[in-house]
Amino acid sequence: MSANELSIKGRPADPRQTASRVRTHMLWVAWRQQRFQILVSLALIGAVALGLVFLRLNVVGALQDAGALDCGTIAAFCASPGFDDVADRYGGIAAIIPLIMLALPPLLGALAGGPLFAREYEQGTQILALTQSVGPVRWWATKTAVAGVPVALALLALGFVNTWAMQPMAALVARPMLTPGFETRGITPAAYFVLAFAIAVTVGILVRNTAAAIGATIAVYIACLLVLGFFRPNYLTPVQWVEPYPPAAGAAEPMDADFIDAWVVDEYLVDASGTAVVLSAGDCTDPRDYAQCLIEQGVTGYYYGYQPGDRYWSIQAVEAGLAVVVGAAVLGLGLVQLRRRVI
């Protein structure tokens, strides 16, 4: 019987107590190794959150002073002269926020996940870790959880803060369903971080080089984001709307309150059978008369395929779920490789 299985009085130690001490020791070691990156990441996220709160409070105050508070939610139809002054003052700042929010998930994911195991292999310290009473799976799981979970939770909170902060600035930033509004609000920043972090961890295990892991993570992450963006319009079946042409008097419009924040994913001219019409100026009696040209070529309506604004959170949930599932699969690949090449 080994020494660590004995209590001070010489009797066997409780296996549950031994396992608990091992877990506590592992958590402490993992925290000591990663605390600088974690604290810097949390400080950066906190600074951005405070900046968003400060910006929203200032914009709301400026809108109130200008008598244009309602323009924040109906920006496309705002005619208040005071709103133009607010837009001039805060438009530049509001344009920078999405860029910061887009950069945070991959940057923090790469910097947290890239060195996590790659640095251990570069320095040879994985040998010390794995020759203790700790298996590769527990070593991998503990380090991954300690380095990733706090930052993911902080980015989740930041996504909701950004959603709240952007509400009175509808005219100054992209609408929630459009890029970069969609990618920078709600739950997607946290999900994107999970994806980037998973890629960085696994690439670090595969290449065992910190710099290469960070660089490859950014490239693979961008590719994944492009793929998600390609499929995003069809996560849910778009609502179809055909606006008659020429418009009938009193005809219903798709531009209801929900359409203001909608995402139009497809639009084209159609004939009476619903077939798309491609205009040819050469077939028009007078190409300068656009309205008559449409009638001459059989156009009877404008087709719109769109995702209503009330689907925002549903589409966010689908994309976040896909990002997390792909991230989990990538992490699993890294674990398999780690178990094959523990040394």
Residue 2 included in any domain = no
Full residue range of the structural domain in which residue 298 is found: 239-309
Mean pLDDT of 97-122: 93
**Residue 224 falls inside a structural domain:** yes
Shared domain for 294 and 152, answered yes or no, is: no
Query: Do 188 and 253 share a structural domain?
Result: no
The number of folded domains in the chain is 2
In this structure, is residue 8 part of a structural domain?
A: no
Claim to verify: residue 284 and residue 231 sit in the same structural domain: no
Alpha-carbon span 27 to 307, nearest angstrom: 45
pLDDT in tens, 117-173: 988 888 776 655 655 566 778 889 999 999 999 999 999 999 999 999 998 887 778
Could you tell me if residue 3 is inside a domain?
A: no
Which pLDDT score is estimated for 41?
A: 96
Residue 259: both structure tokens together: 């359409």
Model confidence over 237-277: pLDDT tens digits?
Answer: 999 888 888 876 555 555 555 566 789 999 999 998 989 99
Position 5 scores a pLDDT of: 43
Say if residue 22's pLDDT is above 80.
Answer: no
Claim to verify: residue 171 and residue 32 sit in the same structural domain: yes
pTM reported for the whole predicted model? 0.86
* One domain, residues 186 and 266: no
Same domain flag for 186 and 278: no
Q: How confident is the model over 171-217, as pLDDT tens digits?
A: 778 788 888 999 999 999 999 999 999 999 999 999 999 999 999 99
The amino acid occupying position 140 is W
Chain centroid to CA 252: 36
Which pLDDT band, with edges at 50, 70 and 90, does 312 fall under?
Answer: very high
pLDDT band of residue 2 (cuts 50, 70, 90) is: very low
State whether 202 and 245 are in the same domain.
no
**Who has greater pLDDT, 343 or 279?**
279
211 with 253, same domain: the answer is: no
* Average pLDDT, integer, range 214-225: 95
DSSP per residue, 74-126:
SGGG---HHHHHHHHHHHHHHHHHHHHHHHHHHHHHHHHHHHHHHHHHHHTTH
Residues 248 and 228 in one domain: no
169 found inside a domain: yes
Question: Do 102 and 85 reside in the same domain of the chain?
Answer: yes
16 in a domain, yes or no?
A: no
Q: Specify the range with the lowest mean pLDDT, choosing from 29-43, 47-61, 79-93, 161-175.
A: 79-93
Instruction: State residue 303's pLDDT score.
Output: 92
Higher-scoring residue by pLDDT: 257, 8:
257
Same structural domain for residues 131 and 257? no
Q: In the prediction, which pLDDT does 234 show?
A: 92
Task: Establish if 14 belongs to a structural domain.
Answer: no
Q: Position of tokens 């404008």? A: 302
With the C-alpha atoms ordered 100, 101, 102, 105, is the resulting torsion angle positive or negative? positive
For residues 317 and 305, membership in a common domain is answered with: no
Of 37-46, 173-182, 305-314, the one with minimum mean pLDDT is: 173-182
